[in-house]
Structure 1
Amino acid sequence: MSKFPESYPKDLLDRIIEDGAGDNTFENVYRVDNYGKCNRDAFLSSFQEKQKRNGLNNRDSYKQQNNEYDIGEYSTSLSSNKREIKNTLKMMENHYNRPKILIGNINPKYGKSMKTRESKSQRYSKRNHIDWWLYEDADPSNDFRYLEE
C-alpha cells in the first residue's frame, strides 16, 4: 500500500521526504468534503481532482518529466484551524452542491504528511495548512466524521 498512484511523478516520494514530509500523526484536522459523501473521493489531491475532471494533459506530463511540478499539487489539503476551514467551506459552496466539513486524524499508514509552513520548497502562507500525500489504495474516510455544529 505504500506507493503513490501511477499518474504521479516517479520521484515524488524522494522529493517530499527531502522537503520535510514524514510519518506524522495530526489529530483533529479538518477537510472540506466537496460532495457530501465521506468516502475515498473526499480525499483526492488537487491533481486527482483535475484529472477526474479533465484527464491527464500534456502539460502535466511535461512538468513531471522535467521535474518542474509542485509537490503540493499531489497532496490532499487539510487544516488544523476550524475557522480557516469554515472560510474554505463558504468558498466551496459557490462551486459544489453540498460541501461539508470533515474532522478526523491523519494516520501515517495512509501516507506522508507535513505542516506546509515547515516545507523547504512550498510558499504557501497559511500557517494551519497540512499536506497529506496519500498512497494509491489509501482510504482514510473511516478516520473522519462530519463536523456537527
Structure 2
Amino acid sequence: MKKLFPDYFIKFELPEGAREELIQVYRACKSGKCDRESFLPSFEEKSCNESSLSDPADPSEYSLSTYEKPKDIKRFVSMDSDMEDPCRIAIGETNPVYGLVQRTKERKPECKSSHVDWWLYKDATPYTEFKIIDNFKEYLANYKKERDKNK
C-alpha cells in the first residue's frame, strides 16, 4: 500500500505530532461488523460534506476516531445517536501501514478521554485486522476487574 492520503487532506494540516505508532484501540462499528462502512473517517461518514463539519480546519474532522480505553468507547456510543444499541465494538491496533495517529490530548490538552485520531491512507483497510468483541458488557467488567487487581 502506498502511503498516500486521500485528496481531501489538502483541506487541513496534519498536526506536528502525527506519527506511526502501534496503539491498541477500540472502534464502534455502526454496521455491526469490521468492514469499510464501520471504519470510515469522520469526513467520509459525513459524505465529504464540508458544511457538516464544526471546524473544517480541525484535523480531527478527517480522522478515524478510536479510543484506547474501553470505558471511553462505551461513553462515546451512549452519546452518539447514530449508534444502534447494542453497538458492536471492535478491538485492534493502529498499524502504521494504514496511516498516522495522534492521541487527541497531545494536541488538545482539554481532551479528557483516550481518543486517538487515526488519519488513514487512501485505500487503507484497517478493519481487516480488527476483531468484534462478542460480549462487550462482559469484556468491560473483566477489564475493570483486571485493572483493579493490578493497582
Same fold (TM over 0.5): yes
Q: CA deviation at 1:42?
A: 1.3
Q: Secondary structure at the match of 2:82?
A: coil
Deviations, residues 118-146 of structure 1 (Å, cap 9, x unaligned): 11xx4661331100000111001121011
Distance 1:126 1:147 in 2: 24
Q: Which of 20, 26, 29 in structure 2 is aligned with 1:23?
A: 20
Matched to 1:4, the amino acid is F
Which of 109, 120, 124 is the matching residue for 2:97?
Answer: 109
In structure 2, the CA distance between the partners of 1:117 and 1:97, relative to structure 1 (3 Å rule), is closer
Q: CA deviation at 1:69?
A: 1.4
Q: How high is the TM-score relative to the length of structure 1?
A: 0.76
**Matched residue, 1:125:** 111
What is the TM-score with the length of structure 2 in the denominator? 0.75
Cα distance in 2 for residues equivalent to 1:56 and 1:11: 12
Code of the residue aligned with 2:129 in structure 1: it is D
- The residue aligned with 1:87 is 75
Q: For each residue in 1:14-72, what CA deviation from the matched residue of structure 2 results, as whole angstroms up to 9, or x when unmatched?
A: x3252x10011102x10101111211221111111111xxx535x48xx8xxxx61111
In structure 2, C-alpha distance between the alignment counterparts of 1:25 and 1:133, rounded to whole Å = 13
Q: 2:61 aligns with which of 64, 70, 73?
A: 73
Q: What is the CA–CA distance in structure 1 between the aligned matches of 2:10 and 2:65, rounded to whole Å?
A: 21
Structure 2 spans left out of the alignment, 5+ residues? 136-151
* Aligned twin of 1:38: 34
Counting aligned pairs with the same residue, the percent is: 36
CA 1:147–1:4: 2 relative to 1, 3 Å: same
Q: 1:70 to 1:138 in 2, by over 3 A?
A: same
- Supply the distance in 1 between the matched residues of 2:46 and 2:11 (Cα, whole angstroms): 20
1:89 to 1:96, Cα distance in 2 relative to 1, 3 A: closer
Q: Which amino acid aligns with 2:6?
A: P
Residue 5 of structure 1 is matched in structure 2 by 6
- The higher-RCO structure (CA 8 Å, 6+ apart) is 1
Question: What 5-or-longer segments of structure 1 have no aligned partner?
Answer: none
Q: Which amino acid aligns with 1:21?
A: A
